[in-house]
Structure 1
Amino acid sequence: MSSQKKVTKRELRQVFWRSFALQGAFNYERMQNLGYAYAMIPVIKKLYEKHDDQVKALNRHLEIFNTTPAVSTTIMGISAAMEEQNANDSNFDSNSINAVKASLMGPLAGIGDSLFWGTFRIIAAGIGVSLATQGNIFGPILFLILYNIPHLFVRIAGLKMGYRVGVNSLERIQKEGLMEKIMSMTTTVGLLVVGGMVATMLNITTPLEFDMNGAKVVVQDIFDQILPNALPLLGTFIVYGLMKRKVSITKLTLGIIVAGIFLHWIGLL
């Protein structure tokens, strides 16, 4: 009886470092498939001795794949566990490896996008920009530190957890509805952060003032009494409305610059 083939910590470390190249060969046909296959090569070489078996395994991981890079290692860990099972069990259905990948990449991308693009990046950028605008060189450094601490933690912990629990976690996560709960919480936190940034970092005021019966009326003071930061909030809603109408970011950026210059020139802002 042949000994059981086992993925070691050495292969998992190689998968971790290779995962950073996930989007290095991004393509519009199969997205991140080349980067994923590249990350799985150490596992495939460890588990399969025959060249034909290695080719089949590589071809499996050349199917379309796309998810948030930070959470990709969780799926890679699960794939490593399933490849290990496939190498040791002749009755294992190798098609299930890609089926699990396909079923996980969408939900995990939703969580990853909410956490990293919609929450951690915005919080880290807000803190970093606030320091940078004061001339503090530590601003961009702090941005990288604040963003990459949770990023690297999720990459490392996700790979270990994915390999350790294999496919068993998928059923539990789906039954308990954990993905929906996490996405809801991260979306709420992200919206709160964006709201706070609008109030503290977006500075839009008007210098308009006029005389009424001999008294000077400052329009900005009226706005502040009715609703503090009303103009930044209005500007945010205008930009949001244009984005919902599918106006491109390039046009929005140029439009904001032109509108800002024009409104300042005529004395409204």
Structure 2
Amino acid sequence: MEEVKLSKKELNKVFWRSFALQGSESYTDMQGMGYSYSILPALKKIYATDDEKYYESLYRNTEFFNTTPHVSTFIMGMSLALEEENAKTDDFQTETISSIKAALMGPVAGIGDSFYWGTFRVIAAGIGLSLAAQGNLLGPILYFLIYTILHFLGRYGCLRIGYKMGANAIEKAFNNDYLGSFSTSASIVGLMSIGAMTSSLVNFTIPAVFETKGGEINVQQMLDDIFPGLLSLGLTFFVYFLLKKNVKVLWIILAIFIFSILGVYIGLLG
């Protein structure tokens, strides 16, 4: 059969449709219907002359699928490259397509969650919150723009890379440690952003001053001389400890809210 190659037009349609990946989720197939809807224009071109394989591909791509939406297009691109192989090869094992999708869902979700939820969102929030805390309207705008632009670039780039590299993508990425290097770099930037946010946004001070015969003891000044920002850092790690203990975020927020009011009322906090 004549080889069919997808053009930029079909790939762009897949890209835009991929935003509807979670538009029809179910407990049995999760994102399966959204996945099939996303790649439908490409499948129509690949199997334009073979209705039987076309309908088989539609059914095959409604199978269970669940991964981070931001990078789901990487698997879509790879699947489409394999669908092209199936279209031009009579004895192609279609189970390979389903197997690769199933094998990649977990690892790709781990990478996507780490980058977009654990790194990019933190960086965007750090920039946005620092401006918003000063009453600058650019705060929420920059947060939206930074995260959205990174999302769009990642989603489009993953589609192109997955389609171009095909089934060899993961093997090449791991052999050259591209994912490891990128993950390490992203983690470093994310941790730097968290540190900067803690220093600039967490404000925890004790204004208590004790009178003595020789003068006075300023508790906050004494702590700052030992370790500037020690209380803010301690509060941050305490909240992190509670989260690791599976304490609900709502209870932590309420506890901080009540402690802050009582602390200011009795003069313990500033």
Q: TM-score, normalised by structure 2?
A: 0.91
Q: C-alpha root-mean-square deviation of aligned residues, in Å? A: 1.8
Residue 12 (structure 1) shift? 0.7
Residue 52 (structure 1) shift? 4.3
Q: Deviations over 1:173-212 (max 9, x none)?
A: 2333433333333223222221221111111111211112
Q: Letter of the aligned partner of 2:38 in structure 1?
A: A
Aligned residue for 2:125? 125
For residues 214 and 26 of structure 2, the distance between their equivalents in structure 1, rounded to whole angstroms, comes to: 68
For residues 27 and 226 of structure 1, the distance between their equivalents in structure 2, rounded to whole angstroms, comes to: 56
Find the residue that maps to 2:37 and give its secondary structure.
helix
- The answer to whether the Cα contact below 8 Å between 1:5 and 1:47 also exists between their aligned partners in 2 is yes
Find the residue that maps to 1:211 and give its secondary structure.
strand
Find the residue that maps to 2:240 and give its secondary structure.
helix
- The answer to whether the Cα contact below 8 Å between 1:111 and 1:182 also exists between their aligned partners in 2 is no
For residues 149 and 228 of structure 2, the distance between their equivalents in structure 1, rounded to whole angstroms, comes to: 35
- The answer to whether the Cα contact below 8 Å between 1:67 and 1:106 also exists between their aligned partners in 2 is yes
Find the residue that maps to 2:67 and give its secondary structure.
coil
Which runs of at least 4 in structure 1 moved beyond 4 Å after TM superposition?
Answer: 49-52
Residue 214 (structure 1) shift? 4.4
Report the more deviating stretch, 57-66 or 239-248: 57-66
Residue 20 (structure 1) shift? 0.9
Aligned residue for 1:91? 91
For residues 222 and 56 of structure 2, the distance between their equivalents in structure 1, rounded to whole angstroms, comes to: 71
- The answer to whether the Cα contact below 8 Å between 2:208 and 2:267 also exists between their aligned partners in 1 is yes
For residues 171 and 222 of structure 1, the distance between their equivalents in structure 2, rounded to whole angstroms, comes to: 56
Aligned residue for 1:172? 172
- The answer to whether the Cα contact below 8 Å between 1:110 and 1:183 also exists between their aligned partners in 2 is no
Aligned residue for 1:7? 6
Gaps of 5+ in 1: none
Q: Letter of the aligned partner of 1:253 in structure 2?
A: I
Residue 128 (structure 1) shift? 1.1
Residue 246 (structure 1) shift? 0.9
Q: Letter of the aligned partner of 1:56 in structure 2?
A: E
Aligned residue for 1:17? 16
Aligned residue for 1:264? 264
Residue 263 (structure 1) shift? 2.3
Residue 41 (structure 1) shift? 1.1
For residues 40 and 142 of structure 1, the distance between their equivalents in structure 2, rounded to whole angstroms, comes to: 32
- The answer to whether the Cα contact below 8 Å between 1:6 and 1:47 also exists between their aligned partners in 2 is yes
Gaps of 5+ in 2: none
Q: Letter of the aligned partner of 1:112 in structure 2?
A: G
- The answer to whether the Cα contact below 8 Å between 2:130 and 2:197 also exists between their aligned partners in 1 is no
Aligned residue for 1:153? 153
Residue 47 (structure 1) shift? 2.0
Find the residue that maps to 1:25 and give its secondary structure.
coil
For residues 219 and 53 of structure 2, the distance between their equivalents in structure 1, rounded to whole angstroms, comes to: 75
Find the residue that maps to 1:203 and give its secondary structure.
coil
For this pair of structures, how many residues does the alignment match?
A: 268
Q: TM-score, normalised by structure 1?
A: 0.92
Aligned residue for 2:79? 79
For residues 51 and 214 of structure 1, the distance between their equivalents in structure 2, rounded to whole angstroms, comes to: 94
Residue 51 (structure 1) shift? 4.7
Find the residue that maps to 1:63 and give its secondary structure.
coil
Find the residue that maps to 1:167 and give its secondary structure.
helix
Any residues of structure 2 matched to 1:105-254 within 5 Å, and which?
105-254=105-254
For residues 27 and 244 of structure 2, the distance between their equivalents in structure 1, rounded to whole angstroms, comes to: 24
Residue 62 (structure 1) shift? 2.0
Find the residue that maps to 2:211 and give its secondary structure.
strand
Q: Letter of the aligned partner of 2:199 in structure 1?
A: A
Report the more deviating stretch, 195-204 or 146-155: 146-155
Aligned residue for 1:33? 32
Q: Deviations over 1:54-103 (max 9, x none)?
A: 33212222222222222111111111111111111111111111211122
